[in-house]
Structure 1
Amino acid sequence: MKGEDLIATFRRFVREEGLLRGTERLLVAVSGGLDSTTLAHLLHAEGYFIVIAHCNYHLRGEESDRDEAAVKALAETLGVPLAVGSFPLRKSDGNVQLRAREIRYTYFKKILDEYSCDLLVTAHHADDALESLLFHLIRGTGLPGIRGIPSRTDFPLVRPLLSSSRSQILEYARQHGLTWREDASNQSDDYARNRIRHHLVPRLQEMGLTPEGASTTLGHLRSAEFFYLRGLASVAETCLRRQGGRIVFDRRTELLTFTDTLTLLHHHTAYMGFGDDAYRQMLTVTGNRIIPGRGYRARVSPAEIVFEPGTPESAAEEPVQVHRLPFTAELPGGRIELAVTDRPRVLSGADQYCRLPELPLLLRPRRAGDRMQPFGMQGSKKIQDILVDDKVAIWERDDLRLLCTPAGSIVAIVGHRIADDWAVGEQDDRVLRIRLQKGNPALP
């Protein structure tokens, strides 16, 4: 393809999608790489008023500073305003990509206001949309994931290169003598999207798949989503109602199949942080049940499901310290009661018993890699594997609490297993009783 193909594709996509009128003031996010450098040059050449914005996270040392220098040089060459934000991050700062994204868009919002810009413009293109589609297909998704990256969002943000391929962008950059920076991390297979780009996409292209063909399909899917959303809104009127900050679903409706209901609930409550297994539990559980989400909860009864604000996940995940006995705590999995009692004749039953540990104790959620040796077993085992073997439902596992000593030794999986080291012996006259009462409060 020739460089002019990018211009033609850009103009057609902008016209068909109604993205730009030509009178807006545009804030262009530029990393210094090929795609964003080309976008800034193209928009400027097409006569748009642009401001360039760049974020330096200092994650790659001098390389990050060279990226910033390249962006400054581009802005000077084009003669356009430039805004640069410095936000030092460390690779140890949890999910760095997510953190950087949050910082980036907060900064862009600030610069939009400072420069009186109407829209943020990013350089996502057809190859990105294809990779995003494949990524979501691998993870599991619905139509919003299949239709790929949207051409606009309410941010306000537009992506005018979504119908343009990486090869078109590269040819344009070469024809116009542009220079850009290459991020070495783009060549690494440490990230799932890079593995898709380096290994899966080339195989599919060998079979005839092209970014241009995928772009056409994604365009039809974006159109289909428009009607899909209207249909969801129409169906919701028959079985969903909003009461202030709550959403109430009528479980007695006969209009929807099981899968239809999953789709409807997921669409209207996706921001509440429920997983697929949680939704399935809502539709299959009998009696009353509370199912926690992320800052929300679902209160289930035979007649309805009430989605409402609940205990924030961060609070629910905080360890609880036990400084004295008896002790009672209301936690997501139910009420946990700890008390010292005489050794019972029979140690089996709903309650658990263990040797008396020294205080303080800790009740905490399970963590990746947690291990213990269950009573009666040889060798230690991952908590995750113990729960699988005991057929503990997926949606109950995150609600479980581990009883631990201050040194970190796991005494018990509350409600399920006692560690072998803490099993009651014949010489133990006084023991610790662990009682779990699962909460199923009645719904209003």
Structure 2
Amino acid sequence: MGKFESSPVTKTFLSAHQKFLTKENRIIVGVSGGPDSMALLYLLHRTDTDSVAVHCNYGLRGKDSDKDQELVEEMCKLWEIECVAVRPEIDKNSGNFQNKARDERYRIFEELKSEYGADYIATAHHRDDQVETILQKLLRGAGMGSWKAMSPLDGEFFRPLLDIPKSEILNFVQLMNVPFRMDGSNEESTYARNFLRHAWFPDLSRLFPGWKENLLRLPDRADEYTAMADTILAGCLNGTTRLNRDRFLSLPDTIRQGIMHRFLEKSIDGLSVSAAFLNTLNTLDSLQTGNRISINERYDLLRDRDEFVLSDTETAESSFQKVVIQQNHLQKIFRANGLILRIENFNGSFDNRSLKLDSEKVAFPVTLRRWKEGDQFTPLGMDGTQRISDHLTNRKISSAEKSDAFVLESFDGVIVAVIFPHSAADGQIGTISEQVRCSDNTQTTVTIRKS
């Protein structure tokens, strides 16, 4: 067995390569010119993996940055790997340059992945990066459920060197005579990762031997925590976006925050939860039905009788259009906001799947809109008026769904129909006003159905 085949770096890479990739896969690989990415590029070359190398030259180090690019381009030419070098335009004096550079780099990777029809984006993250990632999460106060480690394959990202320490990679590139360049800025402690590497890690290794291995076990503890949280959460769920109020409030105060965070995390992928919301959980027991607490700018937690419901405040508004309807529009089928409206001859029959309004009693044009606080109408069969909000409650429309109800308002400002977001318990799709009820003299009706 040769020195390439016997290297721990090669063995680890081949294990991940064989497990996750096929011969047909094309890879976008980020290459800075440093030892880690050059080792990865060399491994892809030696395994004849269909790859496109991408180098981002930020120009931070002047001629040295250009030399990094030259090295990557020269080795790609030698190894017959297509190379794309780009110069992202980022203000070097702006705050959080590292974060902005990373975001732009990954945007470029994504764009080229699409352009080249690639399957994965390969990066040269190694075990030391894994340690730094976990430690930074701890230092930033991330909850236990967030102590996740990077994975060798995470969606479209392929990280075949995660189990290899930096020292082994340095040994590998020297052993295989793989050229690389060292970025002097990595030796400075300006950025968080560099500070940890140079100011903390040496002393931690001296004072606490084996600390890296101990830290790398934390993701296992996080997995155990998540499994336990999911088990507890399962006992409180009424569907994916609803919590049984009594069961949730019966949980010990010390775990409510964690279980709520897990509920939101599972309900909406990538949902950002404000600390202010988590700090209000002790007020949930006094939250009245119909009231809500803001989770973030888009989502609320709504009290709906015996449930807490995750409510998306944008979806309803973005999918609804206020519509003004002329009488001649209804001479044929008219569609709006999931409804079908039409003027039809009246045959004297009624059914729960439609609403029928005497067309002679409707003042056109009519407006189809969301109901709002203060709206009132005279429900069919009643003499007096009733608030729309009370009518929806009486018809057992939940607080979470009330906002999705429509009203049809005539030209004279009279609400002539309320359309429920879903059929009521008796199967009816809404309620018409007493003022537009059909009689023996009715010839034609404005008929409303769900599409």
Q: What TM bracket, shorter-length normalisation? A: 0.5 to 0.7
Which residue, 312, 334, 338 being the options, matches 1:309? Answer: 312
> Partner of 1:184 in structure 2?
184
Change in 2 beyond 3 A, CA 1:203/1:14:
farther
> In 2 relative to 1, CA 282–182 (structure 1 residues): closer, same or farther, beyond 3 Å?
same
Taking the TM superposition and a 5 Å limit, the aligned residue runs for 1:64-213 are 64-154=65-155, 156-206=156-206, 207-209=208-210, 213=213
Deviations 1:327-356 (A, max 9, x none): xxxxxxxxxxxxxxxxxxxxxxxxxxxxxx
Q: Report the counterpart of residue 395 of structure 1 in structure 2.
A: none
Does the CA-based 8 Å contact 1:272-1:294 persist in structure 2? no
Q: 1:26 to 1:144 in 2, by over 3 A?
A: farther
Distance change (3 Å), C-alpha of 1:56 and 1:272: same
Contact 2:230 2:262 in 1 (8 A): no
1:5 is displaced (CA, Å) by 2.4
Q: Give the match for residue 248 of structure 1.
A: 242
Q: Which amino acid aligns with 2:13?
A: F
User: Which aligned pairs between 1:313-392 and structure 2 lie closer than 5 A?
Assistant: none
**Counterpart for residue 37 of structure 2:** 36
Paired with 1:277 and 1:303, the residues of 2 have a C-alpha distance of 24
Per-residue deviation, residues 254-310 of structure 1 (Å, max 9, x unmatched): 563334332232234353322334213123454455335143334468955443334
| Residues 56, 88 of structure 1: 8 Å contact kept | no
**Whole-Å Cα distance in 2 between the matches of residues 13 and 210 of structure 1?**
26
Selected match of 1:258 from 253, 257, 260: 253
Distance 1:258 1:112, change over 3 A: same
Q: Which amino acid aligns with 2:126?
A: H
SS at match of 1:249: strand
- How far did 1:106 drift? 2.3
Q: Which amino acid is 2:139 matched to?
A: I
Tell me if the contact between 1:273 and 1:295 (Cα under 8 Å) persists in the aligned partners.
no
TM-score, normalised to structure 2, is 0.59
Structure 1 residue 39 displacement after superposition? 0.9
The alpha-carbon distance between structure 1 residues 142 and 12, as it changes in their structure 2 partners (threshold 3 A), is farther
- CA shift in 2, pair 1:306/1:169, >3 Å: same
Contact 2:35 2:170 in 1 (8 A): yes
Tell me if 1:10 matches 2:4: no
Displacement, 1:89? 0.6
Residue identity matched to 2:272: G
Verify: 1:295 aligned to 2:269, yes or no: no
Amino acid at match of 1:252: D
Q: Residue 129 and residue 166 in structure 1: after superposition, are their counterparts in 2 closer, same or farther (change >3 A)?
A: same
Q: Decide whether the 8 Å contact of 1:126 with 1:163 is kept in 2.
A: yes
**Percent of aligned pairs with the same amino acid:** 28
Contact 2:131 2:215 in 1 (8 A): yes
TM-superposed deviation, 1:227: 6.5
The size of the alignment, in residue pairs, is: 304
The one-letter amino acid of 1:250's match is: N
CA contact (8 A) 1:273 1:293 kept: yes
Task: Classify 1:238/1:43 alpha carbon distance in 2 versus 1 (closer, same or farther; 3 Å).
Answer: same
| Displacement of 1:46 | 3.0
Match of 2:440 in 1: none
SS in 1 for 2:273: coil
Distance (whole Å) between structure 2 residues aligned to residue 282 and residue 304 of structure 1: 14
- Alpha-carbon distance change, 97 to 295 in structure 1, aligned in 2, over 3 angstroms: farther
The AA in structure 2 aligned to 1:173 is: V
User: Following the alignment from structure 2 to structure 1, what is the Cα–Cα distance between the partners of residues 185 and 170?
Assistant: 19
Moved more, 258-267 or 283-292: 283-292
The two structures have a TM-score, normalised by structure 1, of: 0.60
Q: 1 CA distance for matches of 2:296 and 2:214?
A: 35
2: CA distance, partners of 1:304 / 1:227:
28
Task: Provide, for residues 344-389 of structure 1, a one-character-per-residue CA deviation record: whole Å limited to 9, x for no partner.
Answer: xxxxxxxxxxxxxxxxxxxxxxxxxxxxxxxxxxxxxxxxxxxxxx
| TM-align CA RMSD | 3.3
Counterpart contact for 2:145–2:225, Cα < 8 Å? no
Q: CA deviation at 1:32?
A: 1.5
Distance 1:60 1:306 in 2: 53
Q: Is the 8 A contact 1:278 1:291 kept in 2?
A: yes
Distance change in 2, residues 1:253/1:32 (3 Å): same
* Larger Cα-atom Rg: 2
Long gaps (5+) in structure 2: 316-398, 403-451
Instruction: Kindly state the Cα deviation for residue 209 of structure 1 after the two structures are TM-superposed.
Output: 1.8
Secondary structure of 1:253's partner?
helix
**Contact 2:27–2:122 (CA under 8 A) maintained in structure 1:** yes
Q: Return the alpha-carbon distance in structure 2 between the equivalents of residues 14 and 144 of structure 1.
A: 29
Q: Is the 8 A contact 2:59 2:65 kept in 1?
A: yes
SS at match of 1:239: coil
Q: CA deviation at 1:132?
A: 1.1
